[in-house]
Amino acid sequence: MELTGPIESAEKQFIQILERYFVSIYDEKKLPSHGLNHHRRVWANAKKLLLNLPPGSIISDRLPYTLILASYMHDLGMATDHGPKHGRQSMELCRTFVRNNELDEDDFPGLMHAIREHDNKDYTSSAGTGALDILSMADDLDAFGFTGIYRYTEIYLLRGIDPASLGYRIRTNARQRFEHFSKIFSNSGTFFEQQKQKYLILDGFFKEYDKEISLKKPDSNVLYYTGVVRMLSDIIRNQQDIFEFAVPAHYDNPVAKVFFEGLAKELASGL
């Protein structure tokens, strides 16, 4: 099925009103990692997933329309709920959007279910190509790379997770996400390899973080990865703008330099 036309049509119809609705509700200062730019990237990822589906995949011709709404709405509930059940609040906010714009919910099959359940990452069912499957994977892809390091760190610390278990928790969660994505897209060539490299950036970072955490008598001169997490913790606590944060010229942590440069490149490119 040719999807370029429906994707462009969905964007023309919805992007402007979705973004206006989003900014009317969400305070970027409170949780910037899940703000409008995250939702833009999730929609970009959803488009890539749609265009890289295996040959013969059977999908609804309404799927692009469902996915653009789901992509822009799935984390909107985090405006008031930072917990793992925020999808329920996001769903209600989406219902308000649908009602206010005189849309018919039946025209977007699976929309509310996808938004409500998108953060269920136990992956007990096989990977599919429905609205929930694609939304969940599009969201997952934004959890990899340097962007993922920042996003995971922010939300896990805000949820009160002990920094000592941060690396293990993140690596376990990210591995489940990548393996789920791989079930459908492992044969998609360049697209799969790009996502794999981003996953390895995140996994490698927190593997080294765990090594530093395990040191019984840590030497402050070698706490490079934990140093980055502490910097991120300070940025989060002080509600600094991560997109404008620069590593001071005198700072001697080479991992921080690589991280912030890599993050800036990803954010600038929208990858």
The pLDDT mean for the chain works out to 88
The pLDDT value given to residue 235: 85
Say if CB 120 and CB 108 are below 8 A apart: no
pTM of the model: 0.89
Instruction: Give the contacts of 58 (CB within 8 A, at least 6 positions apart).
Output: 129
The pLDDT value given to residue 38: 92
The pLDDT value given to residue 87: 85
Say if CB 6 and CB 64 are below 8 A apart: yes
The pLDDT value given to residue 161: 92
Report the b/e string of 138-152 with b at 16+ CB within 10 A: bbbbbbbbbbbbbbb
The pLDDT value given to residue 229: 93
d(CA 201, CA 174): 11
The pLDDT value given to residue 29: 76
The pLDDT value given to residue 130: 87
The pLDDT value given to residue 32: 82
The pLDDT value given to residue 218: 54
pLDDT tens digit at each of 271 positions of the chain:
577 889 999 999 999 999 999 999 998 877 888 889 999 999 999 999 999 998 888 888 899 999 999 999 999 998 887 777 788 999 999 999 999 999 999 999 999 999 999 877 666 666 678 899 999 999 999 999 999 999 999 889 988 999 999 999 999 999 999 999 999 999 999 999 999 999 999 999 999 999 999 886 655 556 799 999 998 998 888 877 776 665 555 567 889 889 988 998 888 876 5
Q: Can you state the angle between helices 36-51 and 63-73, rounded to 10 degrees? A: 150
Q: Largest alpha-carbon pair distance within the chain?
A: 62
- Unique residue bearing structure tokens 């997490």: 229
Three-state SS letters, the chain: CCCHHHHHHHHHHHHHHHHHHHHHHCCCCCCHHHCHHHHHHHHHHHHHHHHCCCCCCCCCCCHHHHHHHHHHHCCHHHHCCCCCCHHHHHHHHHHHHHHHCCCCHHHCCCHHHHHHHCCCCCCCCCCCCCHHHHHHHHHHHCCCHHHHHHHHHHHHHHCCCCHHHHHHHHHHHHHHHHHHHHHHHCCCCHHHHHHHHHHHHHHHHHHHHHHHHCCCCCCHHHCHHHHHHHHHHHHHHCCCCHHHCCCCCCCCCHHHHHHHHHHHHHHHHCC
